[in-house]
Amino acid sequence: MPYPYPDSITGPELVAEYAPIIKGKTILCTGVSPNSLGAKYVESIAAGQPELIILMGRSLDKVNQTAELITKAHAEVKTKVLGLDLASFASVRKAAEEVNSWDDVPVIDVLVNNAGIMAVPYEKCVDGFEKHLTVNYLSHFLFTNLILDKVLAAKDGRVVNISSGAHYISGIRHADINYDDGKTYEKWGAYAQSKTAIILFSRELAKRLGDHGLLSFSVNPGAIMTNLVDHLDFSPGGDGDECSHNGAYLEQRARLADYHVDVVSPAAISDIEAGKLWTLSAKAVGL
């Protein structure tokens, strides 16, 4: 798809371009602690005057810091904050129940599944799955499905999932998604598996619900210096939030990188793989 903007365009410039579409919308973003990609996204998109930004994260203190920055810069934009621990399906279910109980939030126009971890030591979460797969993918799969009615209630509701170019490293290890309880664990492979999963999820979601008006994207923000990589020796990249803005307002079943529709590994574009993963995921999270 031809891209209408120069490579030099910034997130704030895209917000200004899309402001008539953003104005009045309700946007929910996970993983918005200060100095995160999610925080940068919500802080910049607030300039487009959405009606409400719902901010979610594991630390309510940190989420509130981001909410305060938005209120200080854009007093007219309402915010809601909510705790969400993606390492626990019980926490995800509790958060989704809270969102669904809000009568004053009948629709969610854009859901941005941003929160995640990268290349951490092996750990199994309380629900029995490797931590990258749980936090980066399975919990977002569960949360999205649980609040999907509110996204579908919006006109052209959108789900934006944050992926990574690192997905090329690994497909879905159907025979051993938990790395033999850590015996065969490789941190970048585990991270890559979770990001391949998020791309396949985006495709399958569009396939299942595109006819109902849902738009689904996976976005590769590139190498961005945020708190996600504080524990790694990483080089800085670009701004990152440009892709998130575009993911909210482009065609469905696409993957974006560096502001453009991107090439995806064969393992991440297979409709057969996407269907298998959906079945595996639904069983894993109890849907």
Proportion of the chain above pLDDT 70, given as a percent = 79
Average pLDDT over all residues of the chain: 84
What total number of domains does the chain contain?
1
What predicted TM-score, i.e. pTM, was given to this entire model? 0.85
Q: What pLDDT score was predicted for residue 128? A: 97
Write out the catalytic residue numbers.
185
Q: What's the longest Cα–Cα distance across the chain?
A: 52
- CA dist 34 and 11 (Å) reads 17
| 2 assigned to some structural domain | no
- For CA atoms 120, 121, 123, 129, the dihedral sign is positive
CB atoms within 10 A of CB 123: 15
Q: What pLDDT score was predicted for residue 170? A: 65
Encode 180-211: b = buried (16+ Cβ within 10 Å), e = exposed: eeeeebebebbbbbbbbbbbbbbbbbbbebee
- CA dist 150 and 189 (Å) reads 34
Q: Is the pLDDT of residue 137 over 70?
A: yes
Q: What pLDDT score was predicted for residue 243? A: 40
Q: What pLDDT score was predicted for residue 121? A: 94
Residue 24 is part of a domain; what is its CATH number? 3.40.50.720
Over residues 204-209, the mean pLDDT reads 93
Over residues 74-90, the mean pLDDT reads 97
Query: For the chain, what is the HEC assignment?
Result: CCCCCCCCCCHHHHHHHHHHHHCCCEEEEECCCCCCHHHHHHHHHHHHCCCEEEEEECCHHHHHHHHHHHHHHCCCCEEEEEECCCCCHHHHHHHHHHHHHCCCCCCCCEEEECCCCCCCCCCECCCCCEHHHHHHHHHHHHHHHHCHHHHHCCCCCEEEEECCHHHHHCCCCCCCCCCHHHCCCCHHHHHHHHHHHHHHHHHHHHHHHHHHCCEEEEEECCCCCCHHHCCCCCCCCCCCHHHHHHHCCCCCCEEEECCEECCCCHHHCCHHHHHHHHHHHHHHHCC
| 6 assigned to some structural domain | no
| 63 assigned to some structural domain | yes
Q: What pLDDT score was predicted for residue 224? A: 42
Closest CA to 12 of 51, 46, 63: 46
| 3 assigned to some structural domain | no
Closest CA to 205 of 193, 218, 194: 218
Q: What is the pLDDT of residues 96-133, one digit of tens each?
A: 999 999 999 999 999 999 999 988 999 999 999 999 99
Q: Is the pLDDT of residue 177 over 70?
A: yes
Owner of token pair 């973003």: 29
Over residues 45-73, the mean pLDDT reads 96
Predicted confidence band of residue 193 (pLDDT cuts 50, 70, 90):
very high
| 4 assigned to some structural domain | no
Predicted confidence band of residue 5 (pLDDT cuts 50, 70, 90):
low
Q: Is the pLDDT of residue 235 over 60?
A: no
Q: Is the pLDDT of residue 199 over 80?
A: yes
In total, the chain counts a number of residues equal to 287
Proportion of the chain above pLDDT 90, given as a percent = 64
Name the residue range of residue 238's domain: 11-285
Over residues 126-141, the mean pLDDT reads 97
| 142 assigned to some structural domain | yes
| 5 assigned to some structural domain | no
| 115 assigned to some structural domain | yes
